Each structure stands twice: as structure tokens, then as C-alpha cells.
Amino acid sequence: MSTLAHYLTEQQHIWDEVAFTSDTDVCISEIWQLPNAAGTQWSFTESKDLAPKVSTTTLINSGSTTRQLRLRVYWLPYHVKQRSIALKRNQYTKLLRDLKLDLATAYCTSLPAGIGRLNETETSVAQYYFSLHPKARMTWRADRDGIVHVVCVAEDKKIDVLKDLLSKEFFQTICEEETMPALLCAVLLALEVEKSQDEIKKQVRQVEVRTGHHDWKSRKEGAALGDLTSLSAKMSGCSTRCASSLRKAYVLIDVLDLVDTQLASMVFGAHDRVKERRRKILDMVQILRKRAKVSIGDNEFIQRRVDIQLNALYHLVAQNDAFLGQQMASDCRLVAIASQRDSSSMKVIAFVTMCFLPATVVATVFSIPLFDWEAETRTDMIRREFWFPKLVVYLAVTFPLMALTFAIWGLWLFAQTIKDKKRAVAIRAQLGLEAEKDEAQALALRRATLRANSMSGD
């Protein structure tokens, strides 16, 4: 039967496609109840034999004492970077099908973070799910015999924490309750929130010592190392971790609300042992709820301190940039003074050149044997027959050389102009502009296009 949960599962996929490995690295934890005359005792066992565990529920010892299975947890290590589970695909599919956790597992992958309960319409079996993307997810249900079956896909370090909690007696005494896995998730969240906040505080204290933007009198931490930009990046990372811790704290409250809701519908009419068990659960919920409230307040306090240090680092970086800018301006001023001195020197050289240029021209002209200085009369000295052929030779050599010089200079200038135009065309092509020959035409075309677009938008 199609339900909203099925629809959302098909439409949304928060978790990436999981890869499966050929190597099986599954651990199974079980809690057994051993009743005796002195009271109920609990036994915590672990194994790696996956195949027979799906069907085993009870065990009879020496024909007289019955050991009743109450909880079984399948730990599936999840490698976040590889997005892989250390189990074969067919084994994973068969495990979920045998435990009737298909719907809860599929729906869990469509949820970034949260907890809830799904009721299978055909079988009327309640399935629970917990999601903390991308590092942990858990699904569980209780069968007709009251055995709680749990499938946990998580990082190794999270699995180690959950295993350690299961080995504690205060958790073993409540393992018969369907809400016990939810309490496991709640304690895991509380521990991770507090650990993450402690790590953020340590980094913030070091940055506070480095920047000096604090008024704490008992600072003993050393100053944070690295340049101001890397410290800004570190504080941005701390801000992200604060947001993650806040999300976990709210998910923790959501988990505790689910436990309260489930217990509120079952507490009346239960016998004394069940009431005592649920009273313990309520005490745990109260403790965790208070810690969640404190964690949320502490998270706001840490976030505020992170923001202050980010602003302080930004100001320090801006001050350093301003100081570097002043140094560059001072260097530019020195360069300008030196350029001014060079310009003054060039003016002096140009002035001296202009002073000697007429004399140089006169000396050049008179150095040419245009006149017969040995003639007896002035008329003979400047007679045309003597100087005109020599002047023609001088001009015939000078003007072609001058023309050749200007021609070479013109060709070089033309080549530079062509090269600049090609470069401009390439730049306009990269910027998405039309390669027009005339820049004014290109600008006019651009304005006309913008005007037409604005008129069509109106």
C-alpha cells in the first residue's frame, strides 16, 4: 500500500547511494535476561556470526534455566568518505527483509536528521528510525516476542560509544522497552554535542589570546599559531561546528519528545516491574533534557564568542592591509620623487641640447666644403658652381636616410597597432562582446541592446 512515507522515500534522497564491500565486518550485540531467585540478571554478548542470528530468540541452559533474548543490535560499520557499508548487498537486503525494517530504512535515507515512528499498515508493526546525516542512522522494531531488533549503520567511533552504553547495567535493565534504542541515540547526541563544544571552546580561547579581544583574567592557553587569514578560516569552521552542535541538540530534544510520547501512551495499567523500568527511562529523559537545554544555551554563548573573534580578525586583517597600503603609498611617493628628479635632469639635458643645437647645425654646415675659402674674392668664394653640386650630394644622401628612418618607425607603429587590435578583439571575445572595428560603434550597439531589453522587460 502506498503511503506518504513511501512517496517521500521515492522523491527525496538525502543519503548518497551506498556502496557495499565484499568483506563482511558486522558485529552483533545481544542482551539476554537470566531470571533467578535473587532477581533478574542481564548478560551482554557479542559475536560476528551474522547468518543464524536472525532466527535465534531463546536459549535453554542445562534444561532448567531459560535465558531469554531481549535485544539484538546489528552494527554495520559505515565509511563516510567512501560511502560504503562493510557488508555484501544481498546480505544487507536479506537482513532488512527478515527484520521487517525495509520501510523505516528507506524512509530514514530521505531524512537529514531526526527520529520518528512509522506504522506498517498491512502488518500493524511499528518501525522506528533515527537519522543523523551523514554519519549515523538507526532503525529498530519489537517483534511479537518482545525482542527489540536494531540495525545501526554508523562510523566506528559512534558504534564504539553505543556498544559501551549497551554494556552498562542501567541500559540493560530497560532493554525490553521499544524506546531504549532512542535513548541510546539521545546519549550519543548529548556526548557529541558536549565534546564538540569543548573542542570549539579550546580553539576560541587560543584565538582570544592571539587577538587580545577578551577580558578573561584566567587565560592560560597559548596563543593560536598561524596567520590571521588561516585563523579566520578556523573560526569560520568553529561557527559551522556550532551550527552542527545546535542541530544535534534540537534532534536530541526531538528524540526525548518521542520517548515521552511513547511512554505516556503505555504507562497506565502496567505492572510494578514495567512501571519501575519506565520510571528509570523518565529519569534518564529528564537528565538528558536538562543537559540539552544547557547545551543550547552554551552553544549560543560559544557562537557569540566565535563571532566576536571573527570580527576582531577581520579588523586586524584590515589594519594590516591599511598599514601595507600606507607603506606602498610611501614607496610610491619615493618613486614619484625619484621620477621627478629624473624628469628635472632630463629637462636640463634637453635645455643644454637646445642651447648647443644651433651651434651644432652651423658647425655641421660649415664643416661641409661648400665654400672655397682659399679664393681671393668673396664672389669667387661663394660662387654657385663650387657649392651647389656638393649641397645636392648632401641633400641626396640626407633626405632618403631621413625618409627611411620615418618609414621604419611608421611600420613598427603600424605593427603595434595591429597587435593591440588583435589583443582587444580577443579580450572582447572572452568577455562576450562583439568584435567591432570601431569602439564607438560597439558601445552604441551595447547601449541599444540594453535599451531594447529594458523596454521589452517593461
DSSP string, 286-340: HHHHHHHHHHHHHHHHHHHHHHHHHHHHHHHHHHHHHHHHHHHHHHHHHHHHHHH
458, pLDDT greater than 60: no
Q: Domain segments of the chain: what residues? A: 1-176, 180-329, 369-457
pTM above 0.75, yes or no: no
pLDDT digits (tens, 9 = 90+) for 103-147: 899 899 889 999 999 986 655 678 999 999 989 999 999 988 888
- Interhelix angle 272-367/180-211, rounded to 10 degrees, is 30
What mean pLDDT, rounded, does the chain reach? Answer: 83
CA distance 161 to 267: 29
Which pLDDT value is given to residue 5?
80
For residue 120, how many other CB atoms are within 10 A of its CB? 17
What is the pLDDT, as a whole number, of residue 395?
Answer: 81
140 residue type, one letter: W
Bridge partner residues of 76 (DSSP): 153
Please enumerate in sequence order all residues whose Cβ is within 8 A of that of 33, keeping only pairs 6 or more positions apart, or say none: 40, 41, 42, 43, 67, 68, 69, 70, 176
Q: What pLDDT is stored for residue 435 in this prediction? A: 44
Q: Who has greater pLDDT, 222 or 196?
A: 196
**CA neighbours closer than 13 Å in the CB half-sphere of residue 299:** 24
SS3 (DSSP) at 72: strand
Predicted confidence (pLDDT) at residue 82 exceeds the cutoff of 50: yes
Are 202 and 304 a contacting pair, CB within 8 Å?
no
Tell me the mean pLDDT in the region 226-241: 91
Please report, rounded to a whole number, the percentage of residues in the chain having pLDDT higher than 70. 84
Summarised one tens digit per residue, pLDDT across range 303-333 is: 999 999 999 999 988 888 888 888 888 888 8
Higher pLDDT, 64 or 175: 175
Cβ–Cβ < 8 Å for 200, 302: yes
Above 60 in pLDDT, residue 402? yes
Residue by residue, what is the 3-state secondary structure of 125-182? CEEEEEEECCCEEEEEEECCCCCEEEEEEECHHHHHHHHHHHCCHHHHCCCCCCCHHH
Q: By the 8 A CB rule, do 157 and 136 touch?
A: no
Coil vs helix vs strand at 458: coil
296 has pLDDT over 60: yes
pLDDT tens, residue by residue, 151-196: 999 999 999 999 999 999 889 888 888 899 999 999 999 999 999 9
CATH topology (fold) of 180-329: Methane Monooxygenase Hydroxylase; Chain G, domain 1 (1.20.58)
Q: Which three cell numbers stand for residue 158?
A: 559512534
pLDDT (0 to 100) of residue 457:
46
Q: What is the pLDDT of residues 355-368, one digit of tens each?
A: 888 888 777 777 77
